[in-house]
């Protein structure tokens, strides 16, 4: 018994001494199947514990360097732990990443859960169309989407929470559905149509749900847009009672128009809204470049977008030539007050009355903010220019 105890004690001591003197093996340098450690960041483990054993490792490595594992990978000429990455031209927050791994943009292309990722997509849509919808308008949306080709990604923003009920339509299975109750299309656009997300799309349609499209074809429309170099556009509106702006009214004698005659006093400059450089927020179409600017103009709290139509010209150089209405492909405004009915009755007012009152208030707030921002910019620029001049 005494011999067994002494043997065991001696074995423990020898094992301990061998453990503290034998060099630490680097897991990332061992030829192990990647499936063996599916959820462990080996580089992190190596980096975390390398400082503890580095001195001990280098002190003993010279005496054991001949004992390499048969399938060991050769040492790289640098140490990943000591080489720091900092790329200031990377997107903000990604400066520590090597540029070739940075993916700053995304898309709405649907992918499989299996197979080779390189074989997921049989087509990459070039355009995006979005609608803010309620279930009651499903038949009209179905009719509208038949006018959009397979070149379009489809995105529906559901303000009534009934997204799952659209499965009766075949196209719904390839559409992107976002369901958040009682929100407007500009609220959705600000949060889900970031320019880096919609970057693959040449044109972005942000349309209402109550539009008739008997005289509209998406591909023909875009052919006209490209022909005339329009950065922001809309289809002409068939004249109807309540049509507000002459600029958006369809004309029969032209393919596209960019100017209009409005009522006396409405236009201080013939090249400014609403006589030019103007489309309504009902059915706008933005180029990729224009949308990158317009998105930044949308205010988080001003959800109805009133006033945007007068301001989008600031995102286009020579706006009176690059913003226009396509007469060759026109639409009909059906005037369904569906979103207005999502309001809340207050102080004896109907739901739609409260919504309309908020729209008008937002228009004034947006214009005030824009005026203040521009004034601050020009005052600061004047001050900086004055400060930079040499004093004689």
Provide the b/e sequence for 232-247 (b: ≥16 CB within 10 Å).
bbbbbbeeeeeeebbb
How would you label 78-102 residue by residue, b for 16+ Cβ within 10 Å and e otherwise?
A: eeeeeeeeeeeebeeeeeeeeeeee
Integer distance in angstroms from the first to the last C-alpha of the chain?
103
pLDDT reported for residue 22? 53
Q: What domain range is 251 assigned to?
A: 119-336
Radius of gyration of the chain (CA): 32
CB 250 within 8 A of CB 237: yes
331 CB-near residues (< 8 Å, 6+ apart): 211, 212, 213, 215, 216, 235, 236, 237, 238, 283
Beta-carbon count within 10 A of 279 CB: 27
Residue 304 is part of a domain; what is its CATH number?
A: 3.90.550.10
pLDDT for position 229: 98
In the block, which residue shows the tokens 């009934």? 162
Residue 184 is predicted with a pLDDT of: 95
Q: What share of the chain is helix, strand, coil (3-state, %, to 5)?
A: 40, 15, 45
Q: What's the pLDDT at 339?
A: 67
- Cα separation, 139 vs 311, in Å, equals 33
Q: What is the pLDDT of residue 46?
A: 44
In the three-class reduction of DSSP (H, G, I as helix; E, B as strand; rest coil), residue 340 is classed as helix
Cβ neighbours of residue 299 under 8 Å, at least 6 residues apart?
Answer: 366, 369
Domain membership of residue 75 (yes or no) is no
Q: Mean pLDDT by 10-residue block, N- to C-terminus, for the chain (392 residues)?
A: 71 67 46 44 44 44 44 59 85 95 95 96 96 96 97 97 95 96 96 98 97 97 98 95 90 96 88 96 97 98 96 97 98 82 72 87 97 96 79 59
- Note whether residue 53 is domain-resident: no
Contact 340, 351 (CB under 8 A): yes
* Domain contains 384: no
Q: Is 292 exposed, middle or buried (0-12, 13-18, 19+ CB in 10 A)?
A: middle
Q: Establish if 57 belongs to a structural domain.
A: no
- Using an 8 Å Cβ cutoff, are 315 and 293 in contact? yes
Residue 84 domain flag: no
Total structural domains within the chain: 1
Quote the tokens at residue 379: 């005052």
Residue 386 lies in a domain: no
Q: Assess if residue 270 is contained within a domain.
A: yes
Is residue 186 classed exposed, middle or buried when 0-12, 13-18 and 19+ CB atoms within 10 A define those classes? buried
Residue 352 lies in a domain: no
Sequence-separated contacts (24+) of 16-25 with Cβ below 8 Å: 20/56, 21/56, 21/60, 22/60, 22/64, 23/56, 23/57, 23/60, 23/61, 23/64, 24/49, 24/50, 24/53, 24/56, 24/57
Q: What is the pTM of this model?
A: 0.77
Distance CA 129, CA 206 (A): 6
């Amino acid at each position: 018994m005494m011999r067994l105890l002494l043997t065991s004690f001696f074995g423990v001591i020898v094992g301990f001494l061998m453990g503290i003197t034998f060099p630490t093996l680097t897991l990332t340098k061992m030829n192990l199947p990647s499936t063996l450690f599916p959820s462990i960041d080996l580089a992190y483990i190596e980096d975390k514990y390398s400082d503890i054993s580095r001195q001990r490792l280098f002190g003993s490595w010279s005496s054991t360097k001949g004992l390499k594992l048969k399938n060991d990978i050769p040492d790289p000429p640098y140490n990943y732990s000591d080489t720091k990455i900092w790329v200031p031209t990377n997107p903000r927050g990604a400066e520590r990443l090597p540029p070739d791994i940075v993916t700053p943009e995304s898309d709405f292309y649907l992918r499989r859960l299996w197979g080779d990722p390189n074989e997921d997509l049989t087509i990459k849509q070039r355009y995006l169309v979005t609608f803010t919808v309620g279930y009651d308008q499903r038949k009209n949306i179905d009719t509208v989407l038949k006018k959009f080709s397979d070149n379009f990604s489809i995105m529906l923003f559901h303000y009534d929470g009934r997204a799952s009920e659209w499965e009766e339509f075949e196209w719904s299975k390839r559409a992107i559905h976002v369901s958040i109750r009682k929100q407007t299309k500009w609220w959705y656009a600000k949060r889900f149509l970031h320019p880096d997300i919609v970057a693959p799309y040449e044109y972005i349609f942000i349309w209402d749900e109550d539009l008739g499209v008997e005289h509209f074809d998406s591909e023909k429309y875009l052919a006209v847009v490209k022909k005339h170099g329009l950065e922001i556009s809309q289809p002409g509106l068939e004249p109807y009672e309540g049509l507000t702006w002459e600029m958006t009214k369809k004309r029969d004698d032209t393919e596209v128009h960019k100017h209009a005659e409005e009522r006396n006093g409405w236009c201080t400059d013939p090249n400014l809204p609403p006589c030019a450089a103007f489309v309504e927020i009902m059915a706008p179409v933005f180029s990729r470049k224009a949308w990158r600017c317009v998105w930044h103009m949308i205010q988080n709290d001003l959800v109805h977008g009133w006033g945007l139509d007068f301001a989008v010209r600031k995102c286009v150089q020579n706006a009176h030539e690059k913003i226009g209405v396509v007469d060759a492909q026109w639409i009909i405004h059906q005037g369904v007050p569906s979103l207005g009915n999502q309001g809340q009755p207050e102080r004896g007012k109907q739901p739609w009355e409260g919504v309309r009152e908020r729209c008008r208030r937002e228009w004034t707030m947006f214009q005030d903010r824009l005026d203040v921002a521009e004034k601050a910019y020009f005052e600061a620029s004047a001050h900086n220019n004055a400060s930079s001049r040499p004093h004689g």
